[in-house]
Structure 1
Amino acid sequence: MTGHDMLVDRYALHGVLGRGGMAEVREGWDTRLNRPVAIKLLHPALIAEPGVRSRFEDEARSAAQLCHQNIVTVYDFGEHHGSPFIVMERLPGQTLADVIAAGPMPAHHVRAMLDDVLAGLSAAHAAGVLHRDIKPGNILVSAPGDSMKVADFGIAKTGGAAYTMTGQIVGTMCYMSPERIAGAPASIRDDLYAVGLLGYEALLGRRLFPQDNPAALAHAIMGSTPPPVASVRADADPVLAAVIDRAIARDPAQRFGSAEQMRAALSGDRRALLDGAVPVQRPATKVLEGPPVPVTHYPPPRRRQRTAGRKYGIAAGVLGALAISVVALAMDPSSTTPAPQPVSTSTPVAPPPSVAPPPSPVVQQPAPAVEDQPGAPGGGGGHGKGNKKRG
């Protein structure tokens, strides 16, 4: 297409605003509504690429459904001579990449930038749209209040397209999470990881992973742990530093679960900052696992030993006394015949099985009434004395 080509007899194409691995963005003019626009065109070489064209179309439709103050608005989507295109709002400001190229940003500006990006992502994720390519070049600075707007929603880079263009490998991989490089599908946590990298890069004024070689870059992302933010920018407030540190954690389970949670943590909500992080860190205590400490390392106090000794002494004394009592009873003649149980003379009671049968009928005669009165003193003892005399 030439510098002044027309798309579908409506959009006039002008100069190139930027190029990426899948598409280029051209300055345009909507002749029907008389307003400036930005037009994204899929690279001609990728039109016939399996899956690339359909993904461009499907995700462009999803992006067109989004409407938020921190998202670049998609006006139209169509096809011109077999080439798909997306028409978006044209912003006069710079990209975040231009701002970072001028040097490290003040910490409070970084915080405001992250809040804008997270607000846009929160709306997109709620609509079921993942960005998949968060990077400074896709964050646009709008003129009113210098607020940030997220562009290129859903225009993801496929594995085939990314690995056929060296420049795009570097541009995309340096904001990819370790699990995405390992081949895992994109997720919300990947978008939030990239947002954390935006904050880190804005504070440093340079990329966190500066490697240009794809293999070295992938090794650095997957095998190294970024230094804490506090070690590279001491003037960053602790809340901002903690949010960025958690967002770029290598373990996706330690990152924020949603853009809304990350935004709340950025605003100072301590519960949002810590929620979900503690359970993930608990397995780290497994490094302390090992054989149990021997019991001998914790001997019982001497006090308990003396108490046990006294108990043993008392028990021995009781046993001795019992032994003596048994011997004495064995030597007592009166102990050979058990004493009869006291009963009332008004009711005959058969003797228990253990009691020997009465020696003679004489013993069955009733005893004197005075001694057999129920409750009379010595009533039980009278039978004992009579048994003793008969022996």
Structure 2
Amino acid sequence: MPQGFTVDAMSTGELLCGRYAVRGVLGRGGMAVVRDGWDGRLGRAVAVKSLHPQLVGDAESRRRFAHEARAAAALSHPNIVAVHDSGEHAGVPFIVMERLPGTTLADLIARGPLPQDRVRAILAEVLAALATAHAAGIVHRDVKPGNILFTASGRVKVADFGIAKTVGTDHTVAGQVLGTVAYLSPDRLLGTPATPSDDVYAVGVVGYEALTGRRPFPQDTLGSLSRAIMTERPPALRGDVDPATAAVIERAMAPRADWRFADAEEMRAALTEPSPAPPRSPTLVMTSVPPRRNRRFALLGAGLLAVIVAAAALISDVSDTPTPSTPTPSTPTPDPFATTVAPSVTPSPLTPTITAITPATPSVANPPRKHGHGHARGGEG
């Protein structure tokens, strides 16, 4: 047994179930205490969570505690704290879980806002854990920074399914609201049955708090928080937050359930999948690709230039022919290209003045081909 452990387990003087030794307290919650433990059979560190002594006689608390053990044990996921064992010792129920260093997201937030890349990564792992729970019909109902732990390597672990609800069942009584007030959705504040959408809302609040270092609605009583949520909007996220990330968090925190993501998997996909590329601006299209009309003029100008070159070659061939001995007719031979281009005009494929230059006769054998609807391809001809 490692140094510092004792057999004085929960003041009984015995090992828990003859196997687990415990020592200092790691944390306390509303209904349980978590102690550092050691599994003597397997020789590994564990965390031992036991019901508060004052709640041992409460049947409802014992039922919730047992439900936590069953719910967490049924969920096998790398982002969920693993449950190794459960039992009862000297009338006190306990759960044996994997031992983590003890750092929580609440500890990190207490030091100040987190970088948004880190927040996205943390939320993605939290949502992956909750997606597994939702797929199994389990709603956590107490998602908050204090229940988000980290391994030594930095991996996220979601803990404390103590008030988790299995869809189709409920362990609450009429009018009872369970969970940490600051992370309860408006639906839960109104006493409606818990759904995966409530976990989504809590993740949105956690993301907001991680990015800003403060809760969107800092009220700490049920009545004040209810009034704030119903009448106020949370302060805007800081300006340098990625718009896509901000949009996901804001949607998760929507006051109406049908405006939020349906479950954790849908929110995780929105957070992690690349956003579709925004539509290109018409200005960008027009400046990156020459407009169709100018390209048509360019082709027309190139065709006219070819005709002029051909005409020049023809004239050159005629001038090299010997002059016949008989007088030539005084009427000059018509030049089909004489009226095509004025001598003072220089063709320019990108200048509007080219619009006045058109072939005067049908002597151009191959006029530019008329193009169809090419703008659907970005303006190409």
TM over 0.5: yes
Which shifted more, 8-17 or 109-118?
Answer: 8-17
1:215 equivalenced with 2:223 (yes/no) = yes
Secondary structure of the corresponding residue to residue 79 of structure 1: strand
| Partners of 1:91 and 1:142 within 8 A in 2 | yes
Secondary structure of the corresponding residue to residue 51 of structure 1: helix
In 2, Cα distance between equivalents of 1:126 and 1:156: 14
Question: Which residue matches 1:201?
Answer: 209
Identity of aligned residues (%): 58
In 1, Cα distance between equivalents of 2:133 and 2:118: 23
In 1, Cα distance between equivalents of 2:149 and 2:33: 16
Question: Which residue matches 1:175?
Answer: 183
Question: Which residue matches 1:265?
Answer: 270
In 2, Cα distance between equivalents of 1:153 and 1:163: 18
Q: Call closer, same or farther: CA 1:84–1:246 in 2, change over 3 Å.
A: same
Q: Call closer, same or farther: CA 1:27–1:221 in 2, change over 3 Å.
A: farther
Question: Which residue matches 1:361?
Answer: none
| Partners of 2:200 and 2:252 within 8 A in 1 | yes
**1:193-215: per-residue Cα shift (whole Å, max 9, x none)?**
11111100001112222223443
Q: Call closer, same or farther: CA 1:156–1:260 in 2, change over 3 Å.
A: closer
1:38 equivalenced with 2:47 (yes/no) = yes
1:129 maps to which of 132, 138, 141:
138
| Partners of 2:197 and 2:260 within 8 A in 1 | yes
Give the CA RMSD over aligned residues. Answer: 2.4
| Partners of 1:3 and 1:13 within 8 A in 2 | no
Question: Which residue matches 2:249?
Answer: 244
| Partners of 2:208 and 2:237 within 8 A in 1 | no
Q: Call closer, same or farther: CA 1:12–1:163 in 2, change over 3 Å.
A: farther
Matched length: 261
The runs of 5 or more residues in structure 2 that have no matched partner are 1-9, 166-170, 277-381
Q: Call closer, same or farther: CA 1:26–1:93 in 2, change over 3 Å.
A: closer
Q: Call closer, same or farther: CA 1:69–1:26 in 2, change over 3 Å.
A: same
**1:354-381: per-residue Cα shift (whole Å, max 9, x none)?**
xxxxxxxxxxxxxxxxxxxxxxxxxxxx
In 2, Cα distance between equivalents of 1:10 and 1:138: 27
**1:229-272: per-residue Cα shift (whole Å, max 9, x none)?**
xx33111111110100000100011000121111110024558x
Q: Please identify the structure whose Cα radius of gyration is greater.
A: 1
Amino acid at match of 2:112: G
**1:136-176: per-residue Cα shift (whole Å, max 9, x none)?**
010001121x121101124449768x989xxxx8x811111
| Partners of 2:68 and 2:160 within 8 A in 1 | no
Give the C-alpha shift of residue 90 in structure 1: 0.5
In 2, Cα distance between equivalents of 1:115 and 1:216: 31
Q: Call closer, same or farther: CA 1:93–1:23 in 2, change over 3 Å.
A: closer
Give the C-alpha shift of residue 83 in structure 1: 1.5
In 2, Cα distance between equivalents of 1:215 and 1:16: 33
Secondary structure of the corresponding residue to residue 28 of structure 1: strand
Question: Which residue matches 2:239?
Answer: 234
Question: Which residue matches 1:8?
Answer: 17
Question: Which residue matches 2:60?
Answer: 51
Summarize the alignment of residues 251-290 of structure 1 with structure 2, pairs less than 5 Å apart.
251-268=256-273, 270=275
Question: Which residue matches 2:120?
Answer: 111
**1:62-96: per-residue Cα shift (whole Å, max 9, x none)?**
21111111111110111112211111101115100
| Partners of 2:83 and 2:97 within 8 A in 1 | yes
Question: Which residue matches 2:87?
Answer: 78
| Partners of 1:117 and 1:148 within 8 A in 2 | yes
Secondary structure of the corresponding residue to residue 193 of structure 1: helix
TM-score by structure 2 length?
0.64
TM-score by structure 1 length?
0.62
Secondary structure of the corresponding residue to residue 85 of structure 1: strand
Give the C-alpha shift of residue 4 in structure 1: 7.6
Give the C-alpha shift of residue 3 in structure 1: 10
Question: Which residue matches 2:372?
Answer: none
In 1, Cα distance between equivalents of 2:41 and 2:98: 14
The runs of 5 or more residues in structure 1 that have no matched partner are 272-391
Amino acid at match of 2:129: G
